[in-house]
Structure 1
Amino acid sequence: MWIILFFLFSFIAPAESASNSESAPQIVRYPAGESPQDARQEYIYDVLKLALHLTEKEFGPYVLKAEGFEMVQERLIAELAAQRTIDVVPLPALEKGYTGLQPIQIPIRQGLLGWRLLLIRCDEQVHFNDFVNLQDLNHKQAGYSLNWGDLPVSEFNFEQLASISGYEALFQMLSTGRFDFIHRGLHEVIAEAATFTSQYPNLCVEKNLILQYPLPEYLYLNEDDEVLAERLQTGLEKAVSSGRLRALALNAYQDIFNHFDIHNRRLIQLHNPMPIDKSKVDNKDYWIHPSLLLNHH
């Protein structure tokens, strides 16, 4: 009898262990930000949460963890390629991709990453009031970070450009007059304006202009992480087909649209010289066209 029970439990125990292992949550690590003041990753958290939630039935529970604090983009790519501290990083969707990484080819911001507002010194607003095109804007000097992946856009379009290293240094240099403006994503500018205008009270968001260039943003994973890739692909496809990704994007940006009167701004379109993946650009399911946002364009 004891021998029979021994054999029964010897088979049951591994099965229970396997079951527990299967129900353990999948840990997904995403970037925390470049500095303690950096709140740009909140939307990434929301996108990941949506995609993972929509796939719980097929793939099980999950836990999201912010990691890689104060890492610039180049370092995040290296960490992801080496499968160290990060599992997923949002990056500009380059046609050639990134060595060691694989993309989930769904623009997570539906094109809104390429919509940009200007941060300027408040007393300079009068000089921007009559600007209507890029030629006008090029009377001023732009500033941008050497660490940001879309730097080639600024290098191509702006005749006067100061490229510097460091995130918070950009705002300090703008405040002290090193250059005249920096352009920031809609999702970035509201948090940065709140944070840095208290530190540099002479900085303001410019009142009349909005820049736009095509810049899809994908989630990138390590090229060998097939399980997470399948899960995020499935989850994001569900989010697109159900309209939930569009709703998430518009909801995340709605306060910004209203606060900065986006619908009535003058549009200046920039050329993007980067070899981006254009497979989803202008596809209405994946991309928000300017006509949906502007009263005139």
Structure 2
Amino acid sequence: MPLRRRELLLSPAALPLAAHAAPRSLRIPHVSPKAELDRSYAAVLLEQALAAAGMPVVLEPTPELIPQNRALQELGRHRRVDVVWTMTSVEREQQALPVRVPIFKGLFGWRLLLATPEVAERLRGVQTLNELRPFSMVSGHEWPDTSILQANGLNVIVSPSYDAMFKQLRLGRADAFPRSVEEIWWELERYGQGLVVVPNLCLHYPAPVYYFVAPDDTVLARAIELGLQRLRASGAMEKLFLQHLGDDLARARLGTRKVIELRNPLLSPQTPLDQPELWFRPQG
């Protein structure tokens, strides 16, 4: 059952937390090959939010990589993980309990394109969605982005393997790989041999990343929500966002790019699209 707003904004005293309890161990899934998972932006924000809500925690990443969909299933069934952060969809919000604060301010919906230099040159002249449709996009199996791209009439080549997607570009089996501003520079350095970031183009769709917990773990959900609201009010969340992601944003120069807007049909009616302060918008 979704949490009501008045429940989520409870004072710390209303949460059944011991004032001097030992830190709670929270298991988080290793869903990305990026290093230093426990020091990532989302992990540090989670720690700080729960500390602000009076629930100190110690994060314990799983030793093995766990795909996002499987990690969400682990929340409700086997309890191998306690918190997952991932892009939302109606289906995912039915599987697990979302805390509806977009922790990346929608940054995962700002997509730059990886391509070979030859394809990047052809993409330079693209100005509209119709002009983009002849190009094929590679995307992951069961990723929400795949359904979003397909819903906008784009030609999507679905791949079950993350590593294989970069190879498909180099082999000419797909034209471009849309990646978020937060991901693309790290991936270009590690997997992007022979590839470039298309310099003048950007895709955008509303794509909140939420923290998800098990459907019955309302205490943890309330604490995360309360802590996030307190960090936002103090400015600490924005400071952390810029500390971790500011360099990626500066490098992307989103305000100078042609932005092609896409619709996201996967969002639930509860998505806080009417709260502009929760979302990133580039300066022109």
Q: Shorter-chain TM-score: what band?
A: 0.7 to 0.9
Counterpart pick for 1:82 among 77, 84, 95: 77
For the aligned residue pairs, the C-alpha RMSD in angstroms reads: 2.5
Gaps of 5+ in 2: 1-17
Q: What TM-score, normalized by structure 1, do the two folds share?
A: 0.81
What is the letter of the counterpart of residue 52 of structure 1? L
Match of residue 261 from structure 1: 253
- Contact 1:213–1:269, Cα closer than 8 Å, also in 2: yes
The separation in 2 between residues aligned to 1:204 and 1:138, in whole angstroms, is 20
Question: Percent of aligned pairs with the same residue?
Answer: 27
Task: Pick from 43, 46, 68 the counterpart of residue 45 of structure 1.
Answer: 43
Residue 159 of structure 1 corresponds to which residue in structure 2? 154
Deviation sequence 1:138-168 (CA, Å, 0-9, x none):
1211111113123211111243221111111
Q: Give the equivalent residue in structure 2 for 1:31.
A: 29
Instruction: Name the SS of the counterpart of 1:110 in structure 2.
Output: coil
Following superposition, the deviation at residue 76 of structure 1 comes to 0.7
* Deviation, structure 1 residue 38: 9.8
Cα distance in 1 for partners of 2:210, 2:232 equals: 14
Distance 1:257 1:214, change over 3 A: same
Judge conservation of contact 1:81–1:99 (CA < 8 Å) in 2.
Answer: no
Q: In structure 2, what is the Cα distance between the partners aligned to 1:235 and 1:261?
A: 31
Q: Aligned in 2, Cα 1:35/1:48: closer, same or farther, shift over 3 Å?
A: same
Residue number in structure 2 paired with 1:93: 88
CA contact (8 A) 1:90 1:218 kept: yes
Amino acid of the residue matched to residue 50 of structure 1? Q
Deviations 1:32-53 (CA, angstroms, capped at 9, x unpaired): 2244779798222122122123
Deviation larger for 118-127 or 90-99: 90-99
How many residues align? The count is: 267
Matches of 2:37 and 2:176, distance apart in 1? 20
Cα distance change, pair 160–100 in 1 and its aligned pair in 2 (3 A) = closer
2:215 matches 1:195: no
Matches within 5 A, 1:1-297: 23-35=21-33, 42-55=40-53, 58-59=54-55, 61-67=56-62, 69-95=64-90, 97-197=92-192, 201-288=193-280, 290=281, 293-295=282-284
Deviations 1:170-225 (A, max 9, x none): 1111121110001011111111111102xxx2111111111110112211100122
User: How big is the shift at 1:97?
Assistant: 4.8
Q: CA deviation at 1:31?
A: 2.0
SS in 2 for 1:132: coil
How many angstroms does 1:22 deviate by? 5.7
State the alpha-carbon separation in 2 of the partners of residues 239 and 168 from structure 1: 36
Query: Which residue identity does 2:58 align to in structure 1?
Result: V
8 Å CA contact retained: 1:34, 1:167: no
Taking the aligned partners of 2:151 and 2:158, their CA distance within structure 1 comes to 13
**Alpha-carbon shift at residue 253 of structure 1 (Å):** 2.4
Mapped partners of 2:39, 2:128: distance in 1: 31
Flag the 1:164–1:210 CA change in 2: closer, same or farther, 3 A. same
C-alpha spacing 1:34/1:109, structure 2 compared with 1 (3 Å)? closer
Q: Is the partner of 1:143 in helix, strand or coil? A: strand
Do the aligned partners of residues 21 and 258 (structure 1) sit closer, same or farther apart at CA in structure 2, a change above 3 Å counting? Answer: closer
Distance in 1, Cα, partners of 2:236 & 2:124: 37
